[in-house]
Amino acid sequence: MEKNYKEYLNQITTLIFDVDGVLTDGTIIITTDGSMHRTMHTKDGFALKTAVDEGFHVCIISGGTDEGVRKRLKGLGITDIYLGAHHKTETMKTYLQDNNIQKDNVLYMGDDIPDFHVMQEVGLPCCPQDAVPEIKGVSKYVSHKKGGKGCVRDVIEQVLKVQGKWLANDNVSAKYD
């Protein structure tokens, strides 16, 4: 019998996320000068910062190459950011090996076909509510939140609550501005 996704939450030490469609809603605004802009949800940012502060490995693997994305994520304390990663499975395996992380301890959230194979290699594959059907099919948890609209906060909060690390510090309000 397949385990309920909640049975995996206590073993998670590593959180890996795609960007477009997960940390963003997948929309790219293109201005007349050709620059592209994305939006990210501040509640996702708070959860990412909290996970970093609580000692979780937090990694971003994206095919996109926007340096503004890297700047935002570094500002949250994330140091393992792989942009332009068109072979996500290889990137993830190298990251896990370099950090001595077992794949059963990894939660990966993706939303589209480029995430399909890498999601089959982790303990807890997850996706936003608006992910494509193929990704929903390989996910052990489908968030009730859409990409860029709090799905990252949803999964991080669940992991931290199960492990007793959500609101565990006295200085919670000072973590994020």
Nearest to 175 by CA among 78, 41, 55, 77: 77
Angle of helix 42-53 relative to helix 151-162, nearest 10 degrees, comes to: 30
Q: Is 7 a domain residue?
A: yes
Q: Is 130 a domain residue?
A: yes
State pLDDT tens for residues 30-51: 999 988 889 999 999 999 999 9
State pLDDT tens for residues 113-149: 999 999 999 999 999 999 999 999 999 999 999 999 9
Are the beta carbons of 59 and 82 closer than 8 angstroms?
yes
The count of structural domains within the chain is 1
Q: Is 45 a domain residue?
A: no
Instruction: Kindly report the CATH number assigned to the domain that includes residue 62.
Output: 3.40.50.1000
The reported pTM is 0.93
Structure tokens at 113: 């076909």
Q: Which amino acid is at 136?
A: K
Rounded to whole angstroms, the Cα distance separating 164 from 177 reads 23
> What average pLDDT is seen over the chain?
93
Q: Is 47 a domain residue?
A: no
Q: Is 115 a domain residue?
A: yes
Q: Is 73 a domain residue?
A: no
For 62, the domain range is 1-24+54-66+80-88+107-170
Cα 158 to its chain centre, rounded Å, is 13
pLDDT at 1: 53
Q: Is 143 a domain residue?
A: yes
Q: Is 29 a domain residue?
A: no
